[in-house]
A = this chain, B = another copy of it.
Amino acid sequence: MAKNAFYAQSGGVTAVINATACGLIETAKKYKKHINKVFAGKNGIIGALNEELIDTSLESRQAIAALRHTPAGAFGSCRFKLTPFEKDPSQYQRLMEVFAAHNIGYFFYNGGGDSQDTAYKVSQLGEKMGYPITCIGIPKTVDNDLPFTDNCPGFGSVAKYVAVSIREAAFDVASMAATSTKVFILEVMGRHAGWIAAAGGLAQENKNDAPHIILFPEIAFNREKFLKRVDECVKKFGYCAIVVSEGVKDAEGKFLSDAGLKDAFGHTQLGGVAPVIAELIKSSLGYKYHWAVADYLQRAARHIASKADVEQAYALGKAAIEFAIQGKNAVMPIIVRKSSKPYRWTIGEAKLKDVANVEKMMPRNFISKDGFSITETCRQYLQPLITGEDYPPYKNGLPQYVRLQNKLIPKKLKPKK
C-alpha cells in the first residue's frame, strides 16, 4: 500500500509558500501508486508532535488550486525548533511514532535554514530509530539566505513589493517637496542581511531616481556621512527617498532601532528604525519627513507578487514530490540560474547536510563603495526575481484568498506528555 506524506510549513510565512503547497499537493495526486494522502501539519511541525494532521484530500480541487494565489501559511506555520536529539530524543521519537501510526513514509519540510536542519536530522534519525522515512526539504524564506539555490521563494515577491512601494512613495514626495515633506523613509525587513533593502534599489532606473539612499545591515551606520548625503540629495533633487533595513547597526554593532526610546510610562519602546532615522534628520537638518514601516504587509503582499517567484515556488513543491518518487532522500530542490538576461532557470538539488545551518550573506560587491546603493552586479542578480505580475482573482474589489477546511484526521496515539 502506498505510504502517506507529511508536509509542514515552517517559520515566517510568505506570499508564495502556499504556491509551493499547491505544487506539492497537486503533483502528489499524480503519483497515487506511491503517495496515498498528503497530511499537512497543523501549525507546522507542532502539528506532527500533537498528532494534529490535516487531511488535504478532503479539500476541493478548486481550493487546492487557489493556494497558488493565497498568501501566508494555509495550514499554519510555527517558530519552533526541535530540541537537539543528543540533548533529548523524545521529540524525534514522538515524530516517528506519529509518522508510523499514520503510515507516513515521506516528510516534506518547507522552510528556511533551521527547517532544513530539522529535515536533515529526521532523514538521519529515521533509520536509527527504526522508522526510515524519505525526507525532502523545500526552500522558503523572504530573507533569501539559503545556500546553493539561486534565490529563496518568497524573497522575489517581497523584493517586488519594496521596489514598487519606494517608487510610488518617491513620486509622492517629489510632488510635495517644494513646500512640505522633503525626506521619506521606508523601513523593510532583513534583521541580518540586506537582501530586501537592496531590492529597493531596483526602483532606480536612472542615476537620480529614488531611492537615493539605502541603509544596509552590512554597513555600519555613520551618522555624519549619512546626514551629509541626505542634505546633498535634498539640495540636488529637492527631496530624498530612503530605504532602511530594520537590521541597521551602529559602529558598535548595536541596532539603531534600540535607540533607548521610552514611552510615557517609561517602557522601552521597541519601535522601528525608520522613526529614529527620521527624527535624526529632523533634529540635525530640519527637514520635514514622513516614514513608513511595511512589516508584514511586505511579505503578505500576494496582490503584487512576482510571477517568477510564484512559478518557482510552485515548481519547487512539484519537484519535491518528483524527487521523492525518484527515490531521492535528504535533499532539497533548488533554483539553478542558467542566465540572467533573459532569465532562465531550472531545478537542481542540494544535499540537506550541506544546506543545514549555512547562511548565504549578501556579497560586499553587491553594495556600492560608499555603502548607500546597490551595484550593477547586484541589479543583474535581483532584476529577474521581480519580473512578471501574477494577480489573484478579485471579488468586490478585494483579492479572493482561500481558507481551507483544515479537517484533522482522527488521532491514534495518546497525547504526548
- Which of B168, B178, B387, B388 has a CB less than 8 Å from the CB of A76? B178
One of A104-112, A144-152, A293-301, A331-339 contacting the partner: A293-301
What residues of B have a CB within 8 angstroms of the CB of A293 in the complex? 272, 274, 291-293
21 A-B pairs in the complex with CB atoms less than 8 angstroms apart: A13-B175, A72-B172, A76-B175, A78-B178, A78-B180, A79-B179, A164-B303, A164-B399, A168-B302, A172-B300, A184-B296, A203-B398, A205-B398, A292-B294, A292-B295, A292-B296, A293-B293, A297-B297, A303-B304, A383-B396, A388-B397
The range of chain A's interface size is 35 or more
For the complex, what is the distance from the CA of A43 to the CA of B302, rounded to whole Å? 35
**Binary interface profile of A, 247-285, with partner B (CB < 8 Å = 1, else 0)?**
000000000000111111101011110111001001100
Most buried by B among A72, A202, A383, A397: A397
- CB–CB A275/B271 < 8 A: yes
Neighbour of A163 across the interface among B165, B177, B297, B397, CB < 8 A: B397
Q: For residue A399, which residues in chain B have a CB less than 8 angstroms away from its CB? A: 164, 167-168
Given A160-B397, A294-B292, A398-B203, does the pair A172, B71 have CB atoms closer than 8 Å? Answer: yes
Measured CB to CB, the closest approach of chain B to A96, in angstroms, equals 22
A window 292-322: CB within 8 A of B? 292-297, 299-304, 306
Chain A contact residues, CB within 8 Å of chain B: 9, 12-13, 15, 43-44, 46, 70-74, 76-80, 160, 163-165, 167-169, 171-181, 184, 186, 202-203, 205, 259-265, 267, 269-272, 274-276, 279, 282-283, 290-297, 299-304, 306, 383, 386-389, 391, 394, 396-399, 401
Q: Tell me the complex Cα distance, A279–B262, Å.
A: 10
Q: Are B297 and A294 in contact (CB under 8 A)?
A: yes
By beta carbon, the residue of chain B nearest A306 is: B397
The 7 closest A-B pairs by CB, nearest first: A73-B175, A260-B264, A386-B397, A72-B171, A292-B295, A168-B300, A43-B178
The docked-state distance in angstroms from the alpha carbon of A150 to that of B326 is 62
Contacts of A388 in B (CB 8 A): 397
Across the two chains, which residue of chain B brings its CB closest to A72? Answer: B171
The contact of A202 among B167, B178, B299, B398, by CB within 8 Å, is B398
Contact B304 A296 (CB under 8 A): no
State A362–B397 Cα separation when bound (angstroms).
22
Q: Name 14 extra pairs, CB < 8 A, besides A13-B172, A205-B398, A387-B397.
A: A13-B175, A15-B168, A43-B179, A72-B172, A73-B176, A78-B179, A169-B296, A171-B300, A172-B299, A184-B296, A261-B263, A294-B297, A306-B397, A388-B397
Q: Are A179 and B80 in contact (CB under 8 A)?
A: yes
CA distance A178 to B78 in the complex (A): 7
Q: Give A180's nearest chain B residue, CB to CB.
A: B79
Could you tell me if A175 and B9 are in contact, using CB atoms closer than 8 angstroms?
Answer: yes
Q: Contact partner of A72 among B174, B186, B262, B290, CB < 8 A?
A: B174
- Nearest-CB residue, chain B, relative to A270: B279
- A295 near B304 (CB under 8 angstroms)? no
List residues of chain B with CB within 8 A of the CB of A77.
Answer: 175-176
In the complex, how many angstroms separate the beta carbon of A53 from the nearest chain B beta carbon?
15
- How far is B291's CA from A326's CA once the two chains are assembled, in angstroms? 44
What's the least CB distance linking A404 to chain B, in Å?
Answer: 12
